[in-house]
Amino acid sequence: MSVAVGVDDLTAWLRRFAEVVHERRDELTALDAAIGDADHGSNMDRGMAAVVAVLDDAPPTDAAGLLKKTGATLVSKVGGASGPLYGTLFLRMAGAAGDGDLDDAAVARALRAGLEGVLARGKAEAGDKTMVDALGPACDALDAGVGAGKPLADALAAAAEAAAQGRDATVPLVARKGRASYLGERSAGHMDPGATSVTMLVEAAAATMGRS
Amino acid sequence: MTVGIVVVSHSRALADAAVELARQMLPGRELAVAVAAGTEDGGLGTDAAAVADAIGQADSGEGVVVLMDLGSAVLSAETALEFLDDDVRSRVTLSAAPLVEGLVGAVVVAASGASRQSVAAEADRGLAPKQAHLSS
């Protein structure tokens, strides 16, 4: 049975993601220090803290509005490439969300639209050692689960598992996008920070949405 | 009315210094050069909303050429285009030129009243003098 995802669920998801990013910011920054510019944890923490401030102060009252405001906040407050990338993810989700609450299929469609926005913005492909390597498999698993009629919570759990596998599979890859690409072959042997944080995002969704 | 210039950088100090260097080429002449650089708290980073604002400031109706440093500067500038009205967006060029060399070339040509296409083309030629010097 389809469970409607509304503002409360999205708020719980965003707050959970912000908590995890804050708790694990040093881990994200350490991953980024190995192959990038050592700011992914602090950047994402700053961005999500700004999103939480919006949720606390003046949250939009519809799902699409909330997703749009989240995206607009992230493009402004994150600072690094994750700003436009995560920002575009949420802006595209907002565009795909339509009016009112989201049913299971709409959640899957919105996340897929977010992935396509990330692909268009970052011009990364699968295997480039980016967030796409975790988010892509997560979308595939979510589509498959929802398409098979699984409860949303189960489909999101499968998506989180697929994201984690994709994240782990970035370790041997050579980076072809972003700062890490300057390192060439030396980027191999390290887990990608963006794939790690987006796995946290999907895990936070699995922990909060479709459970009512 | 001249083409406006926007500088997008991770660093406010880097952007301001690049603009100062370029403005040396314009003694006594006015040119709209707007900067979107650094995070709100003075750190390193870029902000797509600030880029969109800077484009608005620099645009007099003749269009804008945007020079960027690297990485998120490029992604933030591309994201900023989504925040602009269609008519403004249609007269913005994001330049692939190197920031310092491209900016110097761009301001000189822009101040002369050249078109946006000419300004962007001059920015793209920014590396040529250095390359010619070092290869001879």
Using CA atoms, how far residue A28 sits from A113, A121, A157, in Å, is: 25, 22, 22
CATH of the domain at A77: 1.25.40.340
Q: Phi-psi bin for A71: left (phi > 0), alpha (psi -120 to 50), beta?
A: alpha
What residue in A sits closest to B39 (Cα-Cα)?
A: A79
Q: Does residue B20 register a pLDDT over 90?
A: yes
Using CA atoms, how far residue B41 sits from A78, A117, B47, B62, in Å, is: 11, 28, 12, 33
Average pLDDT, chain A: 96
Beta carbons within 8 Å of B113's beta carbon, 6+ residues apart: B1, B2
Residues of B with CB below 8 A from A72's CB? Answer: 49
> What is the span of the domain harbouring residue A60?
7-208
Calculate how close chain A gets to B45, using CA atoms only, in Å. Answer: 4
Question: So what's the pLDDT on residue A2?
Answer: 66
Q: For the segment B51-96, what is each residue's pLDDT rounded down to a tens digit? A: 999 999 999 999 999 999 998 999 999 999 999 999 999 999 999 9
The tokens of A88 are what?
A: 């575009």
Cβ contact A83:A77 at 8 Å: yes
Question: So what's the pLDDT on residue A4?
Answer: 87
Q: Inspect the interface and report whether the beta carbons of A179 and B71 lie closer than 8 Å.
A: yes
Span B4-135 CATH architecture: 3-Layer(aba) Sandwich (3.40)
Nearest to A79 among B45, B49, B82 (CB): B45
Cβ contact A106:A67 at 8 Å: no
Nearest to A88 among B49, B50, B79 (CB): B79
* Catalytic residue set of B: 10
Q: Does residue B115 register a pLDDT over 90?
A: yes
Q: For the segment A78-97, what is each residue's pLDDT rounded down to a tens digit? A: 999 999 999 999 999 999 99
- In a domain? residue A2: no
Q: Inspect the interface and report whether the beta carbons of B79 and A79 lie closer than 8 Å.
A: no
Element containing residue A53 per DSSP (H, E): helix A40-57
Give me the number of domains chain A comprises.
1
**Per-residue burial over B68-100, b = 16 or more CB atoms within 10 Å of its CB, e = otherwise:** bbebbbbbbbbbbbebbeeebeebbbbbebbbb
Tally C-beta pairs within 8 A across A and B. 58
Which letter does DSSP use for residue A177 in this model? S
Question: So what's the pLDDT on residue A193?
Answer: 97
Q: What is the biggest distance separating any 2 CA atoms in chain A, rounded to whole angstroms?
A: 48
Under an 8 Å CB criterion, which residues of B touch A? 39-40, 43-50, 71-72, 75-76, 78-79, 82
Question: So what's the pLDDT on residue B78?
Answer: 97
Cβ contact B35:B18 at 8 Å: no
- Between A2 and A166, whose confidence is greater? A166
The tokens of A159 are what?
A: 């998506």
Q: For the segment A178-197, what is each residue's pLDDT rounded down to a tens digit? A: 889 999 999 999 999 999 99
* pLDDT band at A212; cut points 50, 70, 90: low
* Measured distance CA(A203)–CA(A20) in Å, rounded: 10
- In a domain? residue A120: yes
Task: Determine what percent of chain A is predicted with pLDDT higher than 90.
Answer: 95
- In a domain? residue A1: no
Give me the residue spans of the domains in chain B: 4-135
Question: So what's the pLDDT on residue B1?
Answer: 86
The tokens of A76 are what?
A: 């402004």
Nearest to B75 among A43, A77, A81 (CB): A81
Q: Inspect the interface and report whether the beta carbons of A88 and B49 lie closer than 8 Å.
A: no
CB atoms within 10 A of CB A176: 15
